Amino acid sequence: MKLTTFSDYTLRVLMYLAVERERLATIPEIANAYGISQNHLMKVVHHLARTGVIESLRGKGGGIRLRHAPSEIRLGQVVSASEGNSAIVECLSDEPCGCKIRPACRLAPILVRAFESLYQTLDEYSLADLVDKPDQSNQLRLLLKQA
């Protein structure tokens, strides 16, 4: 059980934008800072813009930035949105499920409840909890500049 790469990159983008929130950032600079693919990152940024977490300003001097203060961005909401429809188990996906016992299986609602607890716990934290400790914001900024 692990976070999708999509969620992993989503959180990294948000941390970057929280650290650099005085200015607009660009996809190439974020990709370069983390050493990850621009292509992957574009999908992540598009998703974050579409769900209203960030805003994208086009044109020369354009870029992306957080739409809200880091303290208002809850991690459970972010991860729940980025995980999207990736089903916890085959029987909860939209695809046909090959499992024979599905009609009598009581596991699916229990797993759904368990994942709800996970997201509730994540929702106890905001993006600010990831970046706004004294000194840590500077340390993050420095690490991201060592590209």
- Shortest approach of a copy of itself to residue 58 CB, angstroms? 28
Smallest separation, CB 106 to a copy of itself (Å): 5
What backbone phi and psi angles, to 5 degrees, belong to 25?
-110, 160
Please, which residue, 26 or 136, has the CB nearer to a copy of itself?
136
Cβ at position 78, least distance to a copy of itself in Å: 11
Burial group, residue 124, by CB count within 10 angstroms (0-12, 13-18, 19+):
exposed
Per CB under 8 A, residues contacting a copy of itself are: 1-4, 7-8, 11-12, 15, 33-35, 75-76, 83, 86-90, 98-101, 103-107, 110-111, 113-122, 125, 129-131, 133, 136, 139-140, 143-144, 146-147
The nearer residue to a copy of itself, 55 or 132, going by C-beta atoms, is 132
Query: Do 45 and 54 form a contact (C-beta atoms < 8 A)?
Result: yes
CB of 76 to a copy of itself, least distance (A): 8
Q: What type of residue sits at position 8?
A: D
Between 71 and 120, name the residue whose CB sits nearer to a copy of itself.
Answer: 120
- Smallest separation (angstroms) from a copy of itself to the CB of 57: 25
